[in-house]
Structure 1
Amino acid sequence: MPSYDATDALDDLFGDEEGYSSGGGAAVVTRTEAILDGPAPASSIDAVLRLADGLPSLDDVQAVDDHDTSELTETELEQKEQTEAVISTALAAGDAAVWVIAQGLERAAKGRWWRRTHTSLGNYVEAKIGRSAVYGRQLRKNAPLALETAHKTGTVPKPSQVKVTSKTEEQYGREAAVTLYEVVRDVSSELGAHPTADSLMAVHKSLPRQLPEEPEQQREVIVQATRRTLGVGTEAPAFESDSNKSASIEAPSFESESNGDAPGENLRGDEEEPTEASETASDAEDDIEDAEIVPEHLVTLKDALKTLNAVNRAVTKDVFAQAAASPDDAAEYEKVRQAIIAKTTAIRNKALHAPRS
């Protein structure tokens, strides 16, 4: 099955913003006109259509009766995961393309490239993208926030969503607007849903008149407001106060979804028994000895990794299943399960947002 690096794909789509500041050089014109001309470059269309190569063969998909409510077989689960990943990747590519178009329109507006062929920029926009001038203006206005949201969160927001978070930006600043989107996305994922313009607006309206200036405190306020608004309990907070960074759910890759999880959020490690290969790798990591020249902080991280490996081997799917089987302990089990999710999410957040070497 072909792989698809969504982060690289986003970088390719959005490009290096500094590269667009060359003052209307030939490369900028060529690239922008290619975008504005729509699907002319056959290679671009082929790249998207090739996503279909990652789908299971239709002939291999077993038809079932309309009234069949049986559990999915292992093969069906694999086909479902494979198919949903392709769907999510294609959707992400489409969302990203909208903001690439917005960047192109901004350059066309600045250079007045329409001046010899159209009576106004609005007419030019309608002719090039088949949408109204108002829609084009809105895309251009919201593109900077959308692009920063995509780069910082790994998820490409839709125009309707950015229309809402732009209100957050106006009132609280861009960082708060990006944080709002990220937090609503992650809390929605806990509920098995995706962020919508309505849910974003509801959380936006629930925020206090002023937010703390300190980013970590600001995030904490947004997290609490989101959880209250979306009806998620806070007994076991999903975001630790000392690591208030939402789990970065990247635009989906072919291997990133599992059984309906949020795009790009691979939770299979929480559900599957460790394979022989993974146990071997974990054992090897456990055997790493701390050389005298290793900095103290790196020793701490290695010790933490050893502990996590031991916990990962002990906490299997069967342990969860047996714990959940006792009706008398249902409330306690759910509390512990949520606490485990909270702690592992907090550690994952710290690692994801840690500096890269």
Structure 2
Amino acid sequence: MPSYDATDALDDLFGNEEGYSSGAGAAVVTRTEAILDGPTPATSIDAVLRLADGLPSLDDVREVDDHDTSELTATELQQKEQTETVISTALAAGDAAVWVIAQGLERAAKGRWWRCTHSTLGGYVEAKIGRSAVYGRQLRKNAPLALETAHKTGTVPKPSQVKVTSKTEEQYGREAAVTLYEAVRDVSYELGAHPTADSLMAVHKSLPRQLPDEPDQQREVIVQATRRTLGVGTEAPAFESESNKSASIEAPAFESESNVDASGPGESPSGGEGEPAEVSETSSDAEDDIEDAEIVPEHLVTLKDALKTLNAVNRAVTKDVFAQAAASPDDAAEYERVRQAIITKTTAIRNKALHAPKG
């Protein structure tokens, strides 16, 4: 058996949180020792806990006033990136552990290992993982899809996400379900967000009744549906799409054309190579010419002023400006900091507009 310290550490980490119960450390360690070769469970647990060693020292983190809205310093940006890497790694480890549990429960169910200690499998599941029998059944049912998604995309999906993509699997097959998850993940990252069960469901509902049999064509349909539904610029504005009826988020016409968002380096709004598309000068000038009525609500005036400012910025910040700024090797670090800050700011504004009430 592992040392008391390792088991106690796991209980301290997960003890009273939803989905875990006191003594979880001992249960996991006992079960794992019986089926694993290699590092002991105590070593594995310690490896997860030691992720905290990768965090910057709390004493080195500068305390900032609640009202401070200044840009992050170079040191703060480095500390933020370092910390978020640790957080992402820990979250991924937790997500992966869920599907390990699901595989364990599947074996327990097949062998009826609970028959001498519990009257039902549901009772056994509740005792072992501290969650309902229904939750356990869902994990077991969705584990194959979750594991294949993780294998093919390099990202471990959450149970709520696989619950949605399992619907895609039922209707279109597993390959389409995996592609859906990957497309929503990638487009969400472009927007500075993360995939959610809601965004996956919105895209699932936007798909046509039938998908092409050819894998590349199938992927193209799913990717384009994802970009339309999540409001990323595509060849056709979202409101012209036949999938619009089931899209949860709809991009305004000028958003679809301008794509003022966080497309990754070398990616165009439609997912191909090249730079993000820019607003048509004609369209921008037309927006600038909007005249205020005699009586316009103050908040609407603020939005119109913001639109004029954005149009001016979009005309000034051309592809050539980025190219020239990137050409100086001496300013590479500062250029990248500014580029990332622009992405962050424009993405924040774009997301506010996308999620704002419609008139």
Per the normalisation by structure 1, the TM-score is: 0.59
**Deviates further, 244-253 or 231-240:** 244-253
Answer whether contact 1:247 1:345 (CA < 8 A) is retained.
no
**Deviates further, 243-252 or 45-54:** 243-252
Distance (whole Å) between structure 1 residues aligned to residue 324 and residue 316 of structure 2 = 13
**Structure 1 residues 3, 296: closer, same or farther in 2, change over 3 A?**
farther
Deviation at 1:45, TM superposition (A): 2.2
Deviation at 1:226, TM superposition (A): 0.7
Find the residue that maps to 1:5 and give its secondary structure: helix
Per the normalisation by structure 2, the TM-score is: 0.59
**Structure 1 residues 316, 348: closer, same or farther in 2, change over 3 A?**
same
Superposed CA RMSD: 18.4
Find the residue that maps to 1:107 and give its secondary structure: helix
Q: Which runs of 4+ in 1 moved over 4 A?
A: 1-40, 235-319, 321-357
**Structure 1 residues 248, 324: closer, same or farther in 2, change over 3 A?**
farther
**Structure 1 residues 69, 14: closer, same or farther in 2, change over 3 A?**
closer
Deviation at 1:42, TM superposition (A): 2.8
Deviation at 1:22, TM superposition (A): 32
**Structure 1 residues 118, 43: closer, same or farther in 2, change over 3 A?**
same
**Structure 1 residues 205, 247: closer, same or farther in 2, change over 3 A?**
closer
Distance (whole Å) between structure 2 residues aligned to residue 280 and residue 30 of structure 1 = 69
Answer whether contact 1:211 1:221 (CA < 8 A) is retained.
yes
Distance (whole Å) between structure 2 residues aligned to residue 5 and residue 180 of structure 1 = 42
**Structure 1 residues 24, 95: closer, same or farther in 2, change over 3 A?**
closer
Deviations 1:261-307 (A, max 9, x none): 99999999999999999999999999999999999999999999999
Structure 2 segments unaligned to the other structure (5+ residues): none
Match in the other structure for 1:220:
220
* Larger relative contact order, structure 1 or 2 (CA cutoff 8 Å, min sep 6): 1
Deviations 1:312-332 (A, max 9, x none): 999999951867999999999
Deviations 1:152-179 (A, max 9, x none): 0000000000000000000000000000
**Structure 1 residues 47, 268: closer, same or farther in 2, change over 3 A?**
farther
Match in the other structure for 1:354:
356
Deviation at 1:66, TM superposition (A): 1.6
Deviation at 1:229, TM superposition (A): 0.7
Distance (whole Å) between structure 2 residues aligned to residue 93 and residue 299 of structure 1 = 48
Answer whether contact 2:206 2:229 (CA < 8 A) is retained.
yes
Match in the other structure for 1:158:
158
Answer whether contact 2:257 2:277 (CA < 8 A) is retained.
no
Deviations 1:249-272 (A, max 9, x none): 999999999999999999999999
Distance (whole Å) between structure 2 residues aligned to residue 8 and residue 308 of structure 1 = 54
**Structure 1 residues 270, 93: closer, same or farther in 2, change over 3 A?**
farther
Deviation at 1:39, TM superposition (A): 15
Q: Which has the larger radius of gyration?
A: 2
Aligned residues: 357
**Structure 1 residues 197, 3: closer, same or farther in 2, change over 3 A?**
farther
**Structure 1 residues 2, 124: closer, same or farther in 2, change over 3 A?**
closer
Distance (whole Å) between structure 1 residues aligned to residue 56 and residue 221 of structure 2 = 44
> Percent same amino acid at aligned positions?
91
- Aligned match for 1:322, one of 316, 321, 324: 324
Deviation at 1:44, TM superposition (A): 2.8
